[in-house]
Amino acid sequence: MDRRAFAALEDRIANRARQMWEDAGCPDGGPDRFADRARELVAIEENPGAGRRDPDKAAEPAIEPLAAIENQGEFPGLTDQGEDQLFPDEQATVEAPVTRK
């Protein structure tokens, strides 16, 4: 958003806040009291479909990217939780080192 577009947006918000203030009977605090609500209303008016999702698409399961699945076997030194062997079958001691065949 460039400077002119931002200034135009701020003008629309200020005008809406003033209109809301006048409709409320010009209470203490002036139009600034209504600036946040005016900002939300202007955003809703200018982007009416921004907060809506298609219920059918929202119910679809998330699909993992194929790269995540293809990459699963790429790291042979890393193990998933529960796959590593906590207590080895063969334990070497100083007196009897394990010999590999």
Work out the burial of residue 20: count CB atoms within 10 Å of its CB; fewer than 13 is exposed, 13-18 middle, 19 or more buried. Answer: middle
Q: What is the pLDDT, as a whole number, of residue 29?
A: 92
Q: What is the pLDDT, as a whole number, of residue 72?
A: 65
Q: What is the pLDDT, as a whole number, of residue 49?
A: 83
Domain ranges of the chain: 3-67
pTM over 0.85: no
Q: What is the pLDDT, as a whole number, of residue 88?
A: 56
Per-residue pLDDT tens listing for the chain (101 residues): 899 999 999 999 999 999 999 999 999 999 999 999 999 999 999 988 887 877 777 777 777 677 766 666 666 665 666 555 555 555 555 566 656 66
Work out the burial of residue 39: count CB atoms within 10 Å of its CB; fewer than 13 is exposed, 13-18 middle, 19 or more buried. Answer: middle
